Amino acid sequence: MAKPARPSIPSERPKDHPPIKSGRTGVLLVNLGTPDGTSYWPMRAYLKEFLSDTRVIDTPRWKWWPILNLIILSKRPQAKGRDYETIWNTERDEGPLKTITRGQAEKLSERLADLGEDIVVDWAMRYGNPSIASRIDALQEQGCERLLIVPMYPQYAAATTATVGDKVFDKLKTMRWQPSLRIAPPWHDDPVYINALASSMTAHLDKLDWKPDVILASFHGIPQRYFDLGDPYYCHCSKTARLLRETLGLPDDKLRLTFQSLFGPEEWIKPYTDRTVEALAKSGVKNLAIVNPGFTADCLETIEEIGVENRDIFKNNGGVNFSAIPCLNDSDPGMDVIETVTRRELMGWV
Ligand SMILES: C=CC1=C(C)c2cc3[nH]c(cc4nc(cc5[nH]c(cc1n2)c(C)c5CCC(=O)O)C(CCC(=O)O)=C4C)c(C)c3C=C
Ligand SMILES: [Fe+2]
Ligand SMILES: [Fe+2]
C-alpha cells in the first residue's frame, strides 16, 4: 500500500507569527524572603504568607487559622518590624537577604560568562518579592526553555527546600509551554562548601585579637516532630558540623552544633543556641564565636538574633569576647560554592 504523502512543513514561520526567543537556560537562585517594608502591613503580609505555608507549620488549618490571624498577626508584625529596622538596607529600602541574594546572582552571572549568552541568571524569594512566578515568567520571556532552580539552602528541609519546589510546580501548573526543570540538590557535605566555610572562619578569626574557647555552629531549628517524621535536616546539619570540625582539626567540645530561631511552644531539635550560650558563659567560657553555616546570606536570624541577642546573653552571663562570623554571602569562597553547584547541575544542558 502506498504511503500517504507527508504533509509539507513550512520551512519558514508564517509572516504573522509572533517572534520566538528560544534555546536559553535560566538559573534561578531562590532564598527565603523578606518583608517589603518594616511597618505593620508589609510585615503582616510577609509573616502571613510565610506562616500560612503548611510546609512551615503543619498544624491543621482549623486550629492554626485563629492562632495565626487573631494572636500572632496582631503583635508579631510590630515586634519583628522593629528588629528588621535595625538591619534594614536603607539605601535600597530592602532587607539584607534581598541585597545579598541579588549580589550572588549578579556575580554568578559574571562567573558563568564563558558559557555564553544562552545562560540567564536571576533570583527570587519564596515569600514576598520578587516572587518565583514573576521571575519564571521573566526567564521564559527571555527565551529560557530550561530552568535550573537553586534553593539557597545547603541542608535540605521540607520547610525550606521542598517549599521552593512546591511554588515552582504551582507556577509550572499554570503554563501552557512549560520549561524543562531541574532543582539543585543540597550541598551540606560538598568539599567546596566545607572548605569555603573553613577558610572564611579562619580568615575572620585570624583578624580578632583574641581566640575563641568555643565555636558554635548554629543552624536554624525545626520542630523535633518534623525530624521524627523523616526530615533529613538534622542529619545534614550534623554532617556539615562534623566535616567542618574535621577540616579545622577541632575536637567535639570546641566546635558544637546548636539550633536557633525557635518558634511556638513545641519542642524543637536540640541543643538550643541561646541556652548553650548562656550555659557556656555561666560555666566560665570567656571567648565565644558563632558561625551560621546553614544561612547562605546574612539576615535577621544571623545579624540580629546571633549578633545582638546572643551576644547580649553571653555578655550578661559573664562572657567577655564574642564574635558573630559572617555568612558566606557573595564573598569569593561563597561564590565558589554557588558556582560549583550551578555548573554541576547544568551538566548536559550546556
Ligand atoms: C515554624 C516556623 C519556622 C520554621 C520551621 C522555619 C524553618 C527555617 N527557616 C529558615 C531560614 C530563615 N528563617 C527566617 C525567618 C523566620 N523564620 C520563621 C519561622 C520558621 N522558620 C519566622 C516566623 C521568620 C521571620 C522572622 C520572625 O518572625 O521570627 C529567615 C530570615 C529572613 C530575613 O528576611 O531576614 C531565614 C533566612 C531555615 C533555614 C529553616 C529550616 C531549616
Ligand atoms: Fe525560619
Ligand atoms: Fe528569629
Question: Using 50, 70 and 90 to split pLDDT, how confident is the model at 9?
Answer: low
**Best mutation site among 220, 228, 259, 306 for ligand 1, i.e. most ligand atoms within 8 A of its Cβ?**
220
Same domain, yes or no: 158 and 252: no
Phi (first) and psi of residue 78, to 5 degrees = -70, -50
pLDDT tens by residue, 159-180: 999 999 999 999 999 999 999 9
pLDDT tens by residue, 242-262: 999 999 999 999 999 999 999
Residues 81 and 45: beta-carbon distance below 8 Å: no
pLDDT beyond 60 at 339:
yes
Domain total of the chain:
2
Q: Residues forming the annotated binding site for Fe(2+)?
A: 220, 301
Same domain, yes or no: 161 and 219: no
Question: Using 50, 70 and 90 to split pLDDT, how confident is the model at 5?
Answer: low
Please state the ipTM of this predicted complex: 0.89
Ligand 1 binding site (Cβ under 6 Å of any ligand atom): 32, 34, 47, 50-51, 56-57, 76, 80, 95, 97, 153, 157, 159-160, 220, 222, 233, 261, 263, 294-295, 299-301
Same domain, yes or no: 172 and 200: no
Lowest mean pLDDT among 17-31, 36-50, 111-125: 17-31
Look at 155 and 9; give whichever has higher pLDDT: 155
Ligand 2 centre to CA of 5 (Å) is: 62
Q: What is the pLDDT of residue 128?
A: 97
250-257, Cβ contacts within 8 angstroms, sequence gap of 24 or more: 250/215, 253/214, 254/213, 254/214, 254/215, 255/214, 255/215, 255/216, 255/217, 256/214, 256/215, 256/216, 256/217, 257/216, 257/217, 257/219
Interatomic CA distance for residues 289 and 255, integer angstroms? 10
Question: Using 50, 70 and 90 to split pLDDT, how confident is the model at 18?
Answer: confident
Same domain, yes or no: 141 and 231: no
Interatomic CA distance for residues 232 and 249, integer angstroms? 26
Q: Is residue 45 part of a domain?
A: yes
Region of 211 please: left (phi>0), alpha (psi -120 to 50) or beta: beta
Ligand 3 centre to CA of 307 (Å) is: 12
- CATH at 162: 3.40.50.1400
Share of the chain above pLDDT 90, in %: 93
Q: Which ligand sits nearest to residue 298's alpha carbon? A: 1
Structural domain including 309 reads 191-325
Ligand 1 atom, smallest distance to 35 CA: 34
pLDDT beyond 60 at 2:
no
pLDDT tens by residue, 299-309: 999 999 999 99
Q: Is residue 1 part of a domain?
A: no
Same domain, yes or no: 39 and 169: yes
- pTM of the prediction? 0.94
Q: Which ligand sits nearest to residue 219's alpha carbon? A: 1
Nearest to 298 by CA among 322, 263, 334: 334
Same domain, yes or no: 217 and 149: no
Q: Is residue 75 part of a domain?
A: yes
Same domain, yes or no: 244 and 146: no
* Local structure of 196: helix, strand or coil: helix
Q: What is the pLDDT of residue 262?
A: 97
User: Cell 520549561 belongs to which residue?
Assistant: 179
Specify the DSSP class assigned to residue 294.
Answer: T
